Structure formats: C-alpha cells, structure tokens
A and B are shown apart, each in its own frame.
Chain A
Amino acid sequence: MAAHAHAVAPRTRAVESTRSWRTLDRIGLLFCWAAGIALCLITAAIVLYMLVKGVQFLRPHLLVTHPQPDLDQSKTGGFLDPILGTLILTVIGISVALPLGVATAVWLTEYGRPASLARAVESGVEIVAGTPSIVLAIFGLVVFQQHIFSWMSFTAQGNAVFARSFLTAGAMMSLIALPLVVGSTREALQSIPRHVREASYALGKSRFATIRRVLLPAARPGMATGATLGMGRIAGDTAIVVILLGASLQLQAEGSTPLLKTLRGTGSTLTSYVYNNSPAGEGNAPQKAYAAAFVLLLIVVALNFAVDVLVRRRKEPQWIR
C-alpha cells in the first residue's frame, strides 16, 4: 500500500516543520507546549494525591457519623453534618440564583432598554462575579444583622441579630452562582436566531408567550450548564461558610419549626470542615481533612462532568443561520 502510494505521487507533508521558524517563534512554541503539559501534570498531581489520601483515610463510617468535638481523634466522628451542610447550602444558593439569573438574562437579551440600565446591570453582574467571596460574606454579615432580617437567623440576648444561618449564607452564595447562570443563559438566548423570535411574533404571539414557550425551552441546556457550574462554585466556597454559616461542627438548629429550624441554624460544609481540620485550623486532624477534601473533589468533579454531558447534549439540531 505504502509503496503503491509512493509510486503514484510524492505526498506533501501535512506536518509543518519548525526548522524554518525564527528562534523567538520556536521558543514561543516550546513555551506553549510546556504550559499545556505543566497544566496536565498539576491536575494529575492534585487528583492523584487526593485519590491516594482519600483511599488511605476515607472510611465509609466517616460519611454517616456526626462530627464530635473531642481531644481524642478516635472519638471525633465523621463528617455527615458537613456533607449535609454542603448539600443544603448548594440547594438554597442555586434555587435563589437560578430564577434570578434567568430573569436577568431574559431581561438583558429580550428587553434591555433603556440601554444605560442594561449596561449598568451588565457591569453589576460582572462586579459581583469579580468580588472575592470574603467581601460578599462580610457584606452579608452587615446586611443580615439588620432587624428586618432577624427571621433568617436568630436574635441573641440584647436584641442583636446573629446573621449566621443557612438562609443568610445561602443568600450570599446565590450571588456567587448568579453571574454564571446569567452568563450561560444569556449566551444560550443570544444564540437563538432573531427570525425564530419573529416567527413566534408572526403567529400572533406576545413577547411573553415567546419567551415562555420558545426561548426558555431552547435555552434550557444553557441554563442547566450555568446552574451546574454555579453549584460547583457554591460547594467549593469557604469564606462565606466560615463567616455567614458559623462553621459550627454540627448542624445547630434554631427555633422549633421543622425544616426552618435547620435553615435558620448554623452548620458547616465540607470546605469549612477541611479548613478546620487541616493543620491551619483548630481541629488538627489532617487525615479527616484529606478524606473530606477527597469527597468534596468528587462532588465538584461530578458536577463538572455533568456540565460536559449537558454541553454535549446541546449539540441538538440547530436552525439554519
């Protein structure tokens, strides 16, 4: 076969030789390669290291037992509460961020008038996206200490509002997820050709019906992608948990109404648990920190994988442009 091909015609080489390149260009190329490979190595190192530590320290009972404060490490229990805390906080955060973010994106793409207001909203979203979460946390603490928000946490003696609870932390967490939801929903809406909207109007449909029945269903994969990315960000954030959730070892319910008492109470998440148990924190149980960090990594990797699946499903047939 090869000999035959050779006999027919000399093939031009598909691969470009860098031999003719200038030295600077070759250095640049080398740098690109090095950067890519280094990134792969770093990722692999993190995952492998956490995998080894996880397998080494993670025991099934850790996932289902409550953490206990004790000087004896064998009696400090597992991290059931932080796992629950992560789940609760993520659910609260995304259930606030998703409707808010989708509404913002719809307004920006479908209305967006006056233009100055649209620009203000856009930069507002960008600023929220760029604000460090610890700043959001401190800000949340100030806001939720106001008396009108006392129902979200609880009032201590002397009428001071505590401001630390799943509700307050979840509200601030939603700001972390919001820009991601806005961004990907907006992108999805913008990718719908104009004539599709006009086709709906031309059938005598109102703008609202068009958004509700045509645009939002078409943008659903984008919304799901944004929500999933946002959930990953919420699950991975520490500052808001430490400041606004109290980072108490166990879920500390507040009041007597079922469910609401948990939401008004404090708790911790895997991130704060890792922080507190790491040599930097006060728990000083690095084995458990590793085990919890491994679980957290699994959760975030699973969420990222879900994004991949969603993006791939977006490759549904599309309109002719």
Chain B
Amino acid sequence: MDQVMPPPVRRIVVDGEPTTVAPPPPRPETANGHPTGVTPLRRRARTSSPGRERMRVEELSVAYAGKLAVKEVTLPVRQGEVLALIGPSGCGKTTLLRSLNRLTELTPTASRSGRILLDDADVERFEVTDLRRRVSMVFQQPNPFPMSVFDNVAYALREQGSKRPRKHDLQPAVHDALARAGLLAEVQDDLDRPALRLSGGQQQRLCIARSLAARPEVLLLDEPCSALDPQSTAKIEELILELRRELAVVIVTHNLQQAFRIADHVGFMYLGHLEEYGPVDQVFGTAKSKRTRDYVSGAFG
C-alpha cells in the first residue's frame, strides 16, 4: 500500500466544508473511484443509502458491580456499513461492543438493562452460542488458538458435541474463509503450520478468517489494529471495507484517522454516554456537541 498517510485529524476539520456536509457531497477524488492524490483523505465512496437495520441498541445501560459503564445508549447497526465507536479510554465503547454478543456476561459483576435487538429479536432470547455465531468478535490482541492454521478456521465450523467432520469436507469452507480474510495466498502452501508462528498481522487476519468461517451477520472488532504495524493495519482496513459489503461491521478504535478512513457512521462515547452519533463527515466535521468537536480535533484524548 503506497498510500499517502492522511493528514492529522486537526486539518480534516479545517479542510472540511462544514456547511455542506449533510447530506455528504461526493468528494471529487472518490466520486469517480480514482483518487486524484491531491487530498487522499478517503479512498472509497461512501455508502449511498443506509442499509437495513441489523441490530438495534435501545436504552442500553451496563454496570460493573453497580458502577455504570454504559448509560442509556441507543443506536442502530446497519447492514453493509462500518460503525466506528470512538472515545477516550474508559468511556464504555468496548463494553458496548461486548454487550452486542453478550460477552459482558462473562464478567460476573456485570449487569445490563435496556434492549439489544438482532433482526428485531431480543438477544436475550437467543441461545448464547447461537447468538455469538451470528455476532462474532475479533479482539485487540491477535489470539489464534495453539493449533494449525487450518484447525483454527475449522474450529469455528465444527459443531460442538457432534462428530468432527472430515478434514477434506471442511477444506472448501476453510479456504473460502481464509480467502475472504485476504490470507489464503500467504498461507496456502502450508496450512498445517502452527498459527502462532504467523506474524502479528497475519495472526489478526487469521482471527478474522476464523470469525468469518461461521458466516456471521455482524462482525465486532475491538481495536483490531492497535497491536499491529502500519502495513498490517492498512491490510486489515482494506479487508474491513471489503467485508462491509456482506455484513455489518462495528469497530472500536482509538485511532481517529482510522475511524475517519473506514467508518460510515461514527458513535462518539464519553463517560458512558453516546455523546454523538451520525455519518462520519458529520461527526468529524459539524458535530453538534462541543465535546465531540474537541475530541476529534485532538483537544483531549
């Protein structure tokens, strides 16, 4: 990726055209799909129309041992979109993300109120394993399991309890998942190598492949690039843009430029509140709240 690094966020605000942002006008460099290279802030066209609502968070509050981490958050997660959650550390964005597939339940002290809907059905109604197959998650640290590359992907496919399917029956699905995660070409020659021998970026893409193998409808990403170098980050970002065609992506990131590069909608969280939610240009350009403007311009972090 010989991409010119985007300018600091501070300049984005200056460069943006605040008065004309909503509805976002097509940018000259992306409208025809050929970046002019003048200000390659974006390298893709934004989704023209919002996709259908896949998940909906309604009045969600999450508390750890009685202390509220997420306060009455309401927001939609749409099919075919990347939703980025940004905000300073400890603002509840990871907690919000983890509630979407009920991973918060692993914390004994966590309690929750409000509703989370997946395709109009409350996530409480789902069998938790079934929910997590449909709403999968990739973590901050690459965490392949201590087995071969093949088995890592196949692990997600193998039904628990039932007899293990034969290896060559799984092969097409494993290859497909690796291909969708953009890793197949790099590992194809030796799928039996231990997954932990891969580089960090490859490991993270393997984790994405593993999640994709179960064919989820929503993919949650918790700062997936924070442990990676810029090249690996670029690859993963490209991958996310690729993936959002087929599923809804929710990403938590500390990296504002990253949110700006890949998100369609952005939620800015502050002290557990959803301070601002809107299309990326609006949040980065003409945010309603002063705090959001301060945060995206780097006044605090």
A204 near B139 with CB under 8 A, answer no
CB distance from B254 to the nearest CB of A (A): 16
Q: Which of B116-163 contact A (CB under 8 A)?
A: 129-133, 136-143, 145-147, 155-156, 160-161
A204 near B155 with CB under 8 A, answer no
Taking a contact as CB atoms closer than 8 A, the residue among A201, A208, A217 that contacts B132 in the complex is A201
A214 near B141 with CB under 8 A, answer no
B143 near A203 with CB under 8 A, answer no
Please measure, in the bound complex, the distance between the C-alpha atom of A202 and the C-alpha atom of B140, giving whole angstroms. 13
Please measure, in the bound complex, the distance between the C-alpha atom of A235 and the C-alpha atom of B106, giving whole angstroms. 42
Residues of A within 8 A of B211 (CB): 202-203
Q: Which of A202, A209, A217 has the most CB of B within 10 A?
A: A202
B140 near A204 with CB under 8 A, answer no
Please measure, in the bound complex, the distance between the C-alpha atom of A199 and the C-alpha atom of B207, giving whole angstroms. 9
Please measure, in the bound complex, the distance between the C-alpha atom of A218 and the C-alpha atom of B211, giving whole angstroms. 20
Residues of A within 8 A of B103 (CB): 198, 201-202
Stretch at the interface among A25-33, A237-245, A313-321: A313-321
CB distance from A217 to the nearest CB of B (A): 6
A196 near B143 with CB under 8 A, answer yes
B140 near A195 with CB under 8 A, answer yes
Asked if A203 meets B160 with Cβ closer than 8 Å, knowing A198-B106, A198-B139, A214-B145, the reply is no
Asked if A202 meets B137 with Cβ closer than 8 Å, knowing A209-B160, A316-B196, A320-B200, the reply is yes
For the complex, count residues of A whose C-beta is within 8 A of B.
24
**A200, CB-defined interface residue at 8 Å:** yes
- A204 to B, closest residue via Cβ: B133
- B222 to A, closest residue via Cβ: A195
Please measure, in the bound complex, the distance between the C-alpha atom of A217 and the C-alpha atom of B155, giving whole angstroms. 13
**A213, CB-defined interface residue at 8 Å:** yes
A200 near B145 with CB under 8 A, answer yes
**Chain B interface, >50% SS class:** mixed
CB distance from B181 to the nearest CB of A (A): 14
Please measure, in the bound complex, the distance between the C-alpha atom of A209 and the C-alpha atom of B158, giving whole angstroms. 10
For the complex, count residues of B whose C-beta is within 8 A of A.
33
**B227, CB-defined interface residue at 8 Å:** yes
A318 near B196 with CB under 8 A, answer yes
**A281, CB-defined interface residue at 8 Å:** no
**A132, CB-defined interface residue at 8 Å:** no
Residues of B within 8 A of A203 (CB): 132-133, 136, 155-156, 210-211, 214
B132 near A193 with CB under 8 A, answer no
**A65, CB-defined interface residue at 8 Å:** no
**A61, CB-defined interface residue at 8 Å:** no
Residues of A within 8 A of B137 (CB): 198-199, 202
Please measure, in the bound complex, the distance between the C-alpha atom of A196 and the C-alpha atom of B130, giving whole angstroms. 19
Taking a contact as CB atoms closer than 8 A, the residue among B130, B146, B210, B214 that contacts A218 in the complex is B146
Please measure, in the bound complex, the distance between the C-alpha atom of A317 and the C-alpha atom of B193, giving whole angstroms. 12
Residues of A within 8 A of B147 (CB): 217
A319 near B143 with CB under 8 A, answer yes
**B278, CB-defined interface residue at 8 Å:** no
A317 near B196 with CB under 8 A, answer yes
Please measure, in the bound complex, the distance between the C-alpha atom of A22 and the C-alpha atom of B153, giving whole angstroms. 62
CB distance from A126 to the nearest CB of B (A): 25
CB distance from B240 to the nearest CB of A (A): 17
Please measure, in the bound complex, the distance between the C-alpha atom of A318 and the C-alpha atom of B145, giving whole angstroms. 10
Taking a contact as CB atoms closer than 8 A, the residue among A195, A200, A218, A316 that contacts B141 in the complex is A195
**B197, CB-defined interface residue at 8 Å:** yes
Residues of A within 8 A of B106 (CB): 198, 201
- A319 to B, closest residue via Cβ: B143
**B18, CB-defined interface residue at 8 Å:** no
Please measure, in the bound complex, the distance between the C-alpha atom of A199 and the C-alpha atom of B160, giving whole angstroms. 15
**A56, CB-defined interface residue at 8 Å:** no
- A220 to B, closest residue via Cβ: B146
Q: Which of A181-236 contact B (CB under 8 A)?
A: 193, 195-196, 198-206, 208-209, 213-214, 217-218
- A318 to B, closest residue via Cβ: B196
- B131 to A, closest residue via Cβ: A204
**B101, CB-defined interface residue at 8 Å:** yes
**B40, CB-defined interface residue at 8 Å:** no
A217 near B136 with CB under 8 A, answer no
A202 near B101 with CB under 8 A, answer yes
CB distance from A196 to the nearest CB of B (A): 5
Q: Which of B143, B160, B211 has the most CB of A within 10 A?
A: B143
CB distance from A191 to the nearest CB of B (A): 12
B132 near A202 with CB under 8 A, answer yes
Please measure, in the bound complex, the distance between the C-alpha atom of A229 and the C-alpha atom of B133, giving whole angstroms. 41
A202 near B136 with CB under 8 A, answer yes
A217 near B139 with CB under 8 A, answer no
**B35, CB-defined interface residue at 8 Å:** no
Asked if A193 meets B143 with Cβ closer than 8 Å, knowing A203-B211, A317-B194, A320-B200, the reply is yes
Nearest 8 CB-CB pairs, A to B? A204-B133, A202-B137, A317-B196, A204-B132, A209-B160, A204-B129, A320-B141, A218-B146
Known: A198-B139, A199-B210, A214-B145. 5 other contacts (CB 8 A): A199-B143, A204-B130, A209-B160, A214-B155, A217-B147
Instruction: Please report B residues at the A interface, Cβ cutoff 8 Å.
Output: 101, 103, 106, 129-133, 136-143, 145-147, 155-156, 160-161, 194, 196-197, 200, 207, 210-211, 214, 220, 227
Contacts A/B (CB < 8 Å), 5 sampled: A202-B136, A202-B139, A203-B136, A204-B132, A217-B145
